[in-house]
Structures are given as C-alpha cells and as structure tokens.
Structure 1
C-alpha cells in the first residue's frame, strides 16, 4: 500500500470514525441510567478509551500493519484460535453496531417525517446500506466522507444552542449536575457502558497504519488528539442536552438531540436536524458494514473461514458473499433486541477485545526484540494498559447491571465463530488427508 496519509488526514479519520449514531441516539438512555449528570458516564468512557488507546498507540509503533487487534493477539499469544476469535469478535461488533444503528434509524428522527413501524424501517434502511456497500468501496468511502461532515455539523449545532442558552440564561444548568440518588454505582457503570458505545471507532484507525506516511510518529498524536476532540464535543452535547431537556423526556426519546432543538427556541428547523441525525446514523451503519464484510473477506482469503466467503463480484469487485453473510446476521439481530440492547452487545464484544489488546501490549514487552520492527516512538506507561484491561473486564461484567439477554446474544454470536473455526479446521484436515492419499498413490 502507498503511504499517502499524513497526520491531519489521519486525525480527521479518527474523529470521523468516533462521531456517529451513539451520541445522536443514546444520550437519553444514558440519562435514564444516571439522571441529569449525563456528562459523568462520558468522562469515564473517555478515560477508558484513553487507557486502551495507549496500548494501540504502542502496538501500532511495533507493528504498523493493517490488521489491528487480531495481529496483536497473534504476536502476543501465538494461538490461532485466540487470533481468530479476536478477529471474529471485532467483526461481530461491527454487525451489532450496524443493527443498533438500524434500530435508531427507525426511531423518533424518522418519525419527524413519516410514521413507519420500527422493524420495517430498520430492514429498509439496512437494505439501502447493503446496496451502497455492494456498489463499491470507492463509492462507499466518498459517501462516508460526506456523511461525516454532515454529522459533525449537527453536533456543532447542538453545541451552539448550548452556548446561546448559557449566554441568554435559558435552561437549567444545575440539572446537568444532578445524579440520580437511586442510580448508585451500578447506574453509573451501566451509563458508562452505554456512553462507551459513542466513543467506539478509534480502534479502527489502526487499519490505516500501512498507508500512513509516518505511522510511528503520527499515529499516537492523531489518536489521542482525535479522542480528545470527540470527547470535548460529546461532553458539550451531553451538558447541553441535560441543561435544556428534562431527564424523563430525554430517557423516553430515541431522538434525544431532536428534543434539544425543539425546546431551544432557536430558528433551526427540527426537520432539518432530524435529517442530519438520520444521515449520521446511516454513516455509522455504513462504516461498520464495510468493516465487517471486508474482515470476513480477509479471513476467507487467509483460509481461516470457508473460502466461499471470499468470492468477489466480477463486475463491481466487491466481496458479495461476505456482504450477504454479514447482512443476514444483521437482519437477524435487529429482531433480537432494542437500540440499547444491541448497542450494549457491541460494547460487550469490544470490551473483551480491548482487554485482550491491553494484555497483549504487556506480554509483547517481554518478547525478544524484532529487527524488522524497531522500538515504537510511543511507549505506554505500564499502569495504563494494566488499568485499561481491568476496567474493560469490569465494564464487561454483570456489575454494570447489564441485561442477561445481552450476554446471551454475545455468547451466541461468539458461538457462531467457534463453529466456523472448527468447521474450517475439519475441512482443512480432510483436504490435507486427501492430498496425502493422492501423493501416496503416486
């Protein structure tokens, strides 16, 4: 791959990959967990993201290849099954995230234009995203860039409303400091898990390592700056939402930021903001379905899942079988849970991946020096990945008050991965045995 991506472009990619459906759709659900202090779970989620980012920043410096968490697990543990399951968990997290986005699309933002059953709207939306994915990667990326600019503008509108409200004395800033006394630490942890969904995406930027001009120097700076910018935007949006809209109204809405626009008393058309939000949700789904389908395609090319999943359309040159496989799972997932449940499943899967990445960076420090991979420019303080791994496991545990259905859904998805791994190993062994028999006959 050509190394054409500079620090500024990488920074834009990191920020664009984080911003999306999470903040547009889940702000109210976070409020339902903690009360008016919506910003608190976002601060904690940002802290966890920053801790895990230190591990990614160091590992990209050691291994500047486009493989991400699966590569790090492979280098650290040398266990094909572990490597496969990490890659599969990342892929499944993309599908569950797209399913959550589809659910969000069928909510209050769409109702601003037309009243359609949520499931029907979600299916139609996912079909449209699939069509864009099938057209081709270059077209998909162009659409992604446009949607990223639009979704960012929507969040800036909310921040501007917040600044105007503070300047004019509108709203109730004190409400943003109120923590629900009944929430307790379980509510805060549960809110943090949901808020963490909105910060996901920073980990995908490691797949650009091979195309960065100076990955060892530029990646850590762009990664931390991108997370910081996204966190600042989210905190401002969370504070504004709580200041202007009552907590119970936010909690009940699947379009919480639309409620902010409606009560703000500014000359910004709610319908226009609803359209921006729908495009933001669309971008999240598109990014995740592209990632998931290409990851399946890559695994098929490497022979670690059935090779039929690696077939490419002759005309469009897109992995149509992998796309069909991932969208079939997404269509099924839409019926298994609501927006919060699917988003929480995404978080659960990636928390397990992040725990593995944080442990991997510590394990790899004990490995002999690799002359092909010089020392990284950034070295995480040892406590950061250690605390990151611990925090990831805590947030993945039942201590958050997470619904048992989320664990069941994640277990079933990972179970599919185990079955695929075993089937592929069986097929590989049979192929080798057949080849050995043919060789013996000759």
Structure 2
C-alpha cells in the first residue's frame, strides 16, 4: 500500500501531484461524498422502515443520524463491531432474496437478449449511461477502507487484500441480486418501489417484514461507514496541510476520534437527508466521487511515471489507473451530455 494515511484519495493526490491546493480540494470533495452519501442512505431508511409502520422522516431520520453519529464518536472499535454484525445480516438477507427468485433467474439470458435487440443504439445509450452514472453510487465505500489504514495492522498487505476481496464479493452480490429482482418483478415496477427487495420476497409469497429488518441493518451500516470516514479525512487535512482548524479535529481523550468533526458531519447529513430527495443526493454523490476517483487514478499514473521501479507487495499495471481516469471522466461526460 503506497500511502497508508487517513486522507485516502486526497493523500494519493498529494503524493502524485504535490500540489497543496489540489489536495485540499480533493480532500473536501471526499468529505462531501461521505456526507452526501450518508444522507442518501438515511433517506432510504425511511422507505424500508415504512414496511412495518407509517413513520415520518421528520423524526425517523434525526433519530437514525443521531444514533449513528454517537456510535462514530464513541470510537472506531465500537463502530467496527457494529458494521461487521450488520454486514453479516445484510449478506444473509441478499442470499435470501436470491433463494426466493430460484429458477426464475434462468430466464434472465433470454430476457436480457430480447431487451437488447429491442433497443436501438442511441436509445440504449441514453438509458444506460445515466443508469450507470447513478448505479455507480452502489460502489461508493470501498475507498473508505483507506481512511482507516492508519489504525490497521500490517497495512501494506492487509489493506489491498481487504479492498480487492470486498470489491469482488460485492460485485458478485450486486449482479446476482439485480438479476434475481428483475426476473421476479418488472424493472418498471421496481423503479417505483420504496422497498424493492422486500417486494421481491413478497411476490413469492413470503412476508417482507424480516427482510425489512435486515435491509435496515444494511442501510445503517453504509451510513455509519461514511460518518466514520469523513471526520478522519478532515483530521488528515489538518495534520498534513493545515487546511482545517485544530479545534474541529481535536481527538477525544477516551475515544481517540475527532468528536467535533464527527458531530459537524452528522449535522450536515441530517440537513441533507431531511430536505433533499434520494435520487438527487445519489446523483450528487456519484458526480463528486467520480471526480475524486479520476484525480486519484491520475495521481497513481503520475507516481508510476515518476518511478518505474518494481515495488514490493501489491502492484497494478499502468493501464489500470489510466482506464480508471478514462471511465470516471467518461461517466461524468456521458451524464452531462445526456
């Protein structure tokens, strides 16, 4: 691992380009993705919570954000255990959804081929590019592992394995669950659903309440990860660049976490979640994080061009970050044009 710092992508940009102004901009962009992403997840919480009872977002979202901010402020160990438990519950719920789809998933190849043949090139591009831009939101979070690298053991070997393993497992789950959902319920109906996976289970004759509980666990997991990440990036911007006031990122004596920054991020999450719709927030997040990814990949290209020497440990060929820059900027451009 080249840069085991809590600044994450901002630290990569600093190492690659050595420009403080660019590093600070990227750092604040990373913080923005965390805050907006957590707000997006919090708004989704209400949709799944309504599986059980009719609740108002005006008290449900403040309660959720308040609890998660409190956990994040207490300490990374407590937050880590909470995320580990909810991750296991979430994976179990996704496997349950796939099990309910069962043999219906065998119809997917024929269904996908028919839809592909029915669409023209321009029409498909106008539909696929915005969908890909928005769906990119689902992959936000892997880079957050880097912000915790300063608090990890054996960083050089453990962090690359953690990121790659998480990416592969998540990709497989996303693809399989998506296929399961659209083979059971038409995509048009899923698009209008506040709790699509619950509807998939219900359509097969099961109660959706248990999956609703599991879905809530998955939702709070994602939001907590972002609330944990953002204050640590602010702390890194203070430590290495003096771009954040000390009082904001001062570490708590017992928790060893930037409590004030955590409370600030939690407050921003609350405001965004209460006053902006989910799709708008997800679109904002995708736009900002794609820009951050383009900058981080560009920094890796610069680092590789500076030194051709082979490093010990995990290494990717030069073509990988180049493709990262091209794909990230391509998705941004495609969304802007369409």
TM bracket, shorter-chain basis: 0.7 to 0.9
Aligned match of 1:285: 223
Query: In the alignment, is the contact (CA less than 8 A) between 1:293 and 1:323 conserved in 2?
Result: yes
2:282 corresponds to which of 323, 330, 343? 343
Query: In the alignment, is the contact (CA less than 8 A) between 1:187 and 1:400 conserved in 2?
Result: no
Any idea what the Cα deviations from partners look like across 1:159-179, whole Å, max 9, x if unmatched?
A: 222235458xxx877445525
Q: TM-score, normalised by structure 2?
A: 0.88
Deviation at 1:270, TM superposition (A): 0.9
1:111 corresponds to which of 50, 73, 90? 50
1:361 corresponds to which of 293, 300, 308? 300
C-alpha separation in 1, matches of 2:172 and 2:282: 22
Report how many residues are paired: 332
With 246-255 and 332-341 compared, the bigger mean Cα shift is at: 332-341
Aligned match of 1:380: 316
Query: In the alignment, is the contact (CA less than 8 A) between 1:176 and 1:242 conserved in 2?
Result: no
Matching of residue 271 in structure 1 with residue 202 in structure 2: no
Query: In the alignment, is the contact (CA less than 8 A) between 1:102 and 1:123 conserved in 2?
Result: no
C-alpha separation in 2, matches of 1:225 and 1:327: 29
Any idea what the Cα deviations from partners look like across 1:169-219, whole Å, max 9, x if unmatched?
A: xx8774455257385212101111122111222222234555343725x55
Give the gaps of 5 or more residues in structure 1: 1-59, 404-442
Aligned match of 2:267: 328
2:330 corresponds to which of 394, 401, 418? 394
Deviation at 1:88, TM superposition (A): 1.2
C-alpha separation in 2, matches of 1:91 and 1:190: 24
Aligned match of 1:238: 178
Give the gaps of 5 or more residues in structure 2: none
Deviation at 1:226, TM superposition (A): 2.8
With 254-263 and 197-206 compared, the bigger mean Cα shift is at: 197-206
Structure showing greater Rg:
1
Q: Give the 3 Å change call, closer, same or farther, for CA 248–124 of structure 1 in structure 2.
A: same
Q: Give the 3 Å change call, closer, same or farther, for CA 131–212 of structure 1 in structure 2.
A: closer
Q: Give the 3 Å change call, closer, same or farther, for CA 318–154 of structure 1 in structure 2.
A: same
SS in 2 for 1:254: coil
Deviation at 1:301, TM superposition (A): 4.2
Q: TM-score, normalised by structure 1?
A: 0.68
C-alpha separation in 2, matches of 1:381 and 1:148: 31
Query: In the alignment, is the contact (CA less than 8 A) between 2:37 and 2:223 conserved in 1?
Result: yes
SS in 1 for 2:305: coil
C-alpha separation in 2, matches of 1:224 and 1:130: 28
Query: In the alignment, is the contact (CA less than 8 A) between 1:172 and 1:244 conserved in 2?
Result: no
SS in 1 for 2:49: helix
1:153 corresponds to which of 69, 72, 92? 92
Pairs within 5 Å for 1:175-324: 175-177=111-113, 178-179=115-116, 181=119, 183-209=123-149, 211-213=152-154, 215-216=156-157, 219-265=159-205, 268-302=206-240, 303-314=242-253, 316-324=255-263
Any idea what the Cα deviations from partners look like across 1:304-351, whole Å, max 9, x if unmatched?
A: 211220234456554221122112221222244211111121111111
C-alpha separation in 1, matches of 2:255 and 2:319: 48
Q: Give the 3 Å change call, closer, same or farther, for CA 282–174 of structure 1 in structure 2.
A: same
